[in-house]
Amino acid sequence: MRVDLHTHSRVSDGTDRPADVVAAAARAGLDVVALTDHDTTRGWAEAEAAAVRHGVALVRGAELSCRADHASVHLLAYLHDPDDAALLAEGERIRRSRVERAREMVDRIAADHPLTWDDVLAQTQPGTTVGRPHIADALVAVGLVTDRGAAFASMLATGSPYYVPYYATALLPAVRMVRAAGGVPVLAHPGAAARGRVISDDTIRAAAHAGLAGLEVDHRDHTPAQRERLSALAVELGLLVTGASDYHGAGKPNRLGEHTTSPEVLAAVVAQGRLPLVGP
């Protein structure tokens, strides 16, 4: 059984429709795929129908924007109640902050370069949570950079004069919120130094005491040393170890199934979650 527990559609910052993510998973030989768009479950219904059609089991999830150790942290939430009031309100607050932040960044860029908000909206679909990837795509479309990577390395980088932070939930309350909604919280790529500060051992221990279920260890942004460190922490704290592609379609080089999760860990995730798998 091949299981990929981290993908994105164009509902957030991927480039494929939710149904197309599932279809691509089937073509890649996956048996199970999780749809984990940023701070939203809006792609679930379309992905559910595609899972039945293509014979791929779907894990319904989301990737929540959090903060810890003065850095951005992402928390994967699996199989939670999509109608949980607290989680819905927090997701809406984050999405609203993302849009406000994106507009301010575009205004700053527009003061120096020919870029408009309409250029950014042209890179989205109805219901998309607008973020830096869409600004990057707009910068490519108007010819200011060559690709997304160049945009994030320059104009959209954290140290850029155009950069604007956005609201994100503190990690420990987010873990508790996911658990209260019947979900299974797993830290996404916690040792990815290139994305910012590595999440400390002490923070991971505190998150485990708050209800964290697992660590995404096998990820292309982790060095062998980080995988070894995180695997040891998982053993120490009794956490699940997952692996995933973090697929974004054409938005990133990540390929479906390049890292996977064991069937035993998948079974543990399903056992802890409120929702069942969808599909075969």
Confidence of residue 280 (pLDDT cuts 50, 70, 90): confident
Compute CA distances 274 → 60, 78, 87, whole Å.
11, 9, 14
pLDDT at 260 over 70: yes
Confidence of residue 194 (pLDDT cuts 50, 70, 90): confident
Q: Are 191 and 199 in contact (CB under 8 A)?
A: yes
d(CA 35, CA 256): 12
Number of domains in the chain: 1
d(CA 40, CA 251): 19
Is 139 a member of any domain? Answer: no
What is the domain extent for residue 80? 3-91+168-272
- Angle value at C-alpha 148, between 144 and 149, nearest 5 degrees: 105
Q: What is the mean pLDDT of the chain?
A: 94
The CATH number covering residue 19 comes to 3.20.20.140
Tens digits of residue pLDDT in 146-186: 998 899 999 999 889 999 998 999 999 999 999 999 999 99
Is 59 a member of any domain? Answer: yes
Confidence of residue 140 (pLDDT cuts 50, 70, 90): very high
The structure tokens listed for 96 are 């609203």
* Rg, the chain, Cα only: 18
Q: Are 256 and 238 in contact (CB under 8 A)?
A: no
Is 215 a member of any domain? Answer: yes
Confidence of residue 34 (pLDDT cuts 50, 70, 90): very high
Confidence of residue 18 (pLDDT cuts 50, 70, 90): very high
Is 176 a member of any domain? Answer: yes
Mean per-residue pLDDT, 231-257: 95
Amino acid at 182: G
Q: Are 138 and 113 in contact (CB under 8 A)?
A: no
* Percent of the chain with pLDDT strictly greater than 90: 85
pLDDT at 197 over 90: no
Compute CA distances 254 → 51, 199, 244, 245, 249, whole Å.
21, 22, 10, 6, 8
Tens digits of residue pLDDT in 50-86: 999 999 999 999 999 999 988 889 999 999 999 999 9
* Percent of the chain with pLDDT strictly greater than 70: 99
3-state secondary structure of 47: helix
Is 68 a member of any domain? Answer: yes
Q: Are 56 and 32 in contact (CB under 8 A)?
A: yes
d(CA 260, CA 220): 11
The structure tokens listed for 68 are 């810890």
Report the pLDDT value the prediction gives residue 154, as an integer from 0 to 100: 95
d(CA 46, CA 130): 19
pLDDT at 196 over 70: no
Is 163 a member of any domain? Answer: no
Tens digits of residue pLDDT in 102-130: 999 999 999 999 999 999 999 987 778 78
Report the pLDDT value the prediction gives residue 101, as an integer from 0 to 100: 94
d(CA 53, CA 23): 9
Q: Are 276 and 266 in contact (CB under 8 A)?
A: no
Is 193 a member of any domain? Answer: yes
Q: Strand 57-68 to strand 32-35: parallel, antiparallel, or no bridges (unpaired)?
A: parallel
Is 117 a member of any domain? Answer: no
